[in-house]
Structure 1
Amino acid sequence: MSTVTGTGIGTDPKELSGQVAIVTGGGLGIGKAVTRALVRRGAQVVIAARRLALLEAAAEEITAELGGEVFPVAADTTDTDSVTGLAAAAADIGQVGILVNGAAAPAGLVRNDIAQADPDALLADLNTKVVGYFRCIKAVAPLMRANGYGRIVNIGGLTGRSSHALSGMRNLAIVHMTKVLSDQLGPDGITVNTLHPGVVETEHIHELYAKNAAAEGITPDQVERNFIARTPIRRVLTADEVAAAVCFFAGPGAGGITGESLGIDGGLTRGVFL
């Protein structure tokens, strides 16, 4: 049995002490905010991406601010051997109890009409986000099963709940994978859930505003204002808000929730999901 216990939800400021977390895409944006939040809760965090210098800068910034331990590991989630090495590096540090899958091309590579859509870009989207998440889960599942405990959180996206971008199929596939693997891993004390962030203030969001502005013939500021006007809370979310939701699912008190997909979008999604 795992030594990780807990009955409260968010009651212990160091509730993740003794656990090693892996965060892919951990050097920027939501991934960096997740790393900071996990460290604040006591976890040792391995952050992974292809650019080691970026990871090292993020690790230095976070540890200078909070203390704790952040371990940068260069890894490519499109390469199975690289992912296997990432899992092994994390296991050398301690008990791997948390995986946050977030490595992907922001907003997707294929967002336009099928006449201009590139099949190779679509395959790259699926390989990086869907198969990449799968590779990471496959690599850490044996480590979690050995301890009878694990929390896996997949970062999806709202395009999986709409029809405005072809790359949304990657997020829909992640939801299906989440549900299937929650069945398979649940008996071993491992939960698997997906979070769908909405419009979040990150390094990449203004690139999306610019692309949408060019397509619509308006200014990037107007694109942002239009997003805000359609969002019930009337603002863009922060990466820290997404990180807080990730930490809830990654915590010991969320053991009864698995196979779920939750939008964290300020109410932007208008669909009704039972």
Structure 2
Amino acid sequence: METHPAAPAAGTAVEPPVRVLVADDNPIVRAGLVSLLEAGGLTVVGEAVDGAHAIEQARLLRPDLVLLDVRMPGTDGVTAAGPISALTKVLMLSYDDAPEVVGAAIRAGASGYLVHGSFDVTRLVEAVRDTVAGVDCPLSPAAGRAVVAALHRDAPAGPEPHHPPQYALAAHPAPAPPCPLSRRESEVMHLIARGLSNGEIARSLVISEYTVKNHINRIFAKLGVRTRGAAIARWLGTAGGDGQ
């Protein structure tokens, strides 16, 4: 006797599948990623072998997200992240965790950056879904540390030459701007800067992921940002103040 899948109950909303484009020059890595994503319930709509191909496929297929490698021949992933991010969400996935590379990718428009070896299948699928939904901008711990390192490196070196020497000001430093975050939000922000995922933050603080997401939404609103990378950059300038 032939059977058919049960139809969804009347009035039940069916979420459309998340459509992903995978861009990596290594065919073995591509095949592995496709298998993992599809096993996690995501739909892989296409594959690309380099940055230029990824841009072309993103324009043609209009996926919900492009999973983009960094080191590819011809047009690399960081270069491709700019034009692709104008079309859809970009999640970098690479072995490269150099601060300048991670920082460049985030500045180019990538919504998140995962480093191979620092996540499992569940985390990868969760990162894709959260990025598409706009509830998270995932950074692997190594990528989070790299962003912080890049921000420190790019910070202004000090006063202009005509200003008094820095040591002359040390006895009376300018007060740090007040931090707009509560103590709990500051704790969450500290863990974000370390590259922890929402689930890892929840386990660290013994709270639910739903509560973590609420904290992050308030943090983004208070800091006037939309991504984790931008939040880290903004927070580094205010973290010296006292929380409430």
Q: TM-score, normalised by structure 2?
A: 0.35
Structure that is richer in strand per residue: 1
**Higher Cα radius of gyration:** 2
Structure with higher RCO (Cα < 8 A, 6+ apart): 1
